[in-house]
Structure 1
Amino acid sequence: MDSSLHWDQLALLVSTLEWHWRGRDDFFIGANLSVYFRRDQSARRELRGPDFFVVRDVERRPRRSWTVWLEGGRYPDLIIELLSDETARTDRTLKKTLYETVFRTPEYFWFSPETAELSGFSLADRQYRPIAPDVRGHLKRHVLGLALGVLDGLLRFYDDVGTLVPTLPEAVLQERALFEQEQACADRLAARLRALGVDPDQ
C-alpha cells in the first residue's frame, strides 16, 4: 500500500506542473490513472496505471482513464513511477519493459520517496538508455523542457538553468520576498535623499 509520502509526492508533481503550464491547454497529466492500450485489458486487469504521466499536444480536459484507441493512438510521453517495497521490482522490470516495447514512451523515470533514489531512461534506437545526471545531479530531458532533481527528499522540477520550478504557494512567497526587497531598496534610497536635504516625494 502506498504511504503518505507517495501521495504527497504525487500531489507535488501534479500541482507544480499544472501551475508551471497554467497558460497552456495542450497537455494532459495523469495521476494513478489507468492506461488502457488493449480492448480486452479492463477484463484482464493486467496493469495498474502509472503513478504519474504526461501526454503532450492533446486537449486539456478531465478524463476517467487514458484509453489509447480513443486518443488517436497516443501513449504517454513521460512516465514517473514512485517506488515502494511492493512495487519496486515491477516498476524496474515489468513496467519498464512495457513502457519501452509497447508504449514506446520516450522518457521513463522512477523515484523512491523513501530513499530518494532517482533513475531515468530515454528511448533511443528502440531501447531505453540511462539518463546521466548533469553537474547539479539533475536528470535533464526534452519531453517537458524541464529537469528532474531531488530537493529535501522530494522529486522536483527544474528549468534549463537549474532553477527550481515553484509551486503556487512558493511562487507567491517569491513574489512577496521580491516586493519586500524592492521596497527596502526604495526606503534606503529615500533615506539617503532626505539626508542630502532632498524630498523624495517631490
Structure 2
Amino acid sequence: MTTLDFSSDVICPPTDLWSDEPPLESDLHLQQIILLLSCLESFWSDRNDYYATGNLTIYYNAEQLKKRDFCGPDFFVVLNTEKRLRKSWVVWGENGQYPHVIVEILSDSTAKVDRTKKKELYQNIFRTPNYFWFDPVSLEFQGFRLSEGKYEPINPNENGYLWSDQLELYLGIHEKKLRYFTPDEELILTPQELAKLAQEKLKDLENTQLLAVARLQELGLTLEQIADALSLSVEQVRVILSQQSSDSKN
C-alpha cells in the first residue's frame, strides 16, 4: 500500500472535510455494510489500531476534491491508524494512508464502475492490498490481492471463502450475506448472534445446575454440601431450588 510523503513546505488542502456520499442503493446494501462493520468491530473489540467504516468519502488529491466526482467505497478498513470518529477520510490528513481493504457492494448502477474504473483506481492510485466486491442479489463474489503492482484474483478455498491477508480473516457467503470467518473457517458472529448464544449457554447451564441440585438433594445432601459440591454459594442453591419449585407448580 502506498503512503504519501508530505514535506513541510507543501501546502495541502484542508483536512476537516465532510463526507459527500450519495444515498445507498437499497436496504440490502445498508444491511450488508452494517454487517461487515459490526462484526469486525465486535471481533476486534480489544483493538484501537484500525479504522473501519462504510459509505464515507475518501479525499485523496486536490483535483478530486475540486471535482467531487468520486464516490467512496461502500466499506473500507485502514490499519495502523487511530480508531476514532471522522467526517471523512482525508489522505493528506492521515499521514498519506489509503485503505488496506476495500469492499464494494455491487448494484445495477455501480457494478460496471466497481469492476473497472474503481478497480484501476484502487490498484494504481490507492495501492489497496485487498479489494473485494459482492453482489447481494446475484451473490457474485470476487477478491483481488495486490501483487507486484497489479491485482491478482484470490483463489477461493474448498468452501468458496477468500483469504484477506490484511485482515487475516476469510470472507465468504453465509445465508446470502458476506461474512467474515476465522482462519479455522469459523463464522464470526454478529453482536446479536453472540448475545443469543450467550443466553442459550446460560440457559443450558441453569438447566444443568437445576438437575444437579435436584439429584444431590435426593441423595440427602444439605444446602451447604450441595453448594460445596457444585462450587456455588448457598444463596445460589436456594435460588435454584426456588426455580425448581416454581417450575414444578407450572
Q: Above 0.5 in TM-score?
A: yes
Identity of counterpart residues, as a percentage?
41
Larger radius of gyration: 2
- Structure 2 counterpart of 1:131, from 154, 177, 180: 154
- Structure 1 counterpart of 2:43, from 16, 20, 40: 20
Q: Distance in 1 between matches of 2:96 and 2:136?
A: 32
Q: Shift of the alpha carbon at 1:192?
A: 4.2
2:3 — aligned with what?
none
Provide the secondary structure at the position in 2 that maps to 1:40. helix
- TM-score, normalising length: structure 2: 0.76
Q: Shift of the alpha carbon at 1:30?
A: 2.5
- Structure 1 counterpart of 2:70, from 42, 47, 50: 47
1:9 — aligned with what?
32
Provide the secondary structure at the position in 2 that maps to 1:85. coil
1:105 — aligned with what?
128
Provide the secondary structure at the position in 1 that maps to 2:62. coil
Q: Shift of the alpha carbon at 1:146?
A: 1.4
1:30 — aligned with what?
53
Deviations 1:110-161 (A, max 9, x none): 0011111111001111111111111222112221121111111111111111
Higher mean C-alpha displacement, 71-80 vs 191-200? 191-200
Q: Distance in 2 between matches of 1:196 and 1:116?
A: 59
Amino acid aligned to 1:146: L
Pairwise CA RMSD: 1.6
Q: Shift of the alpha carbon at 1:47?
A: 1.1
1:93 counterpart = 2:103: no
Deviations 1:167-191 (A, max 9, x none): 1111111111112222323333344
2:14 — aligned with what?
none
Amino acid aligned to 1:5: L
Q: 1:136 to 1:187 in 2, by over 3 A?
A: farther
Q: Distance in 1 between matches of 2:90 and 2:54?
A: 14
- Structure 2 counterpart of 1:176, from 172, 196, 199: 199
Q: Shift of the alpha carbon at 1:6?
A: 0.6
2:94 — aligned with what?
71
Q: Distance in 1 between matches of 2:205 and 2:155?
A: 40
- TM-score, normalising length: structure 1: 0.93
Q: Shift of the alpha carbon at 1:64?
A: 1.2
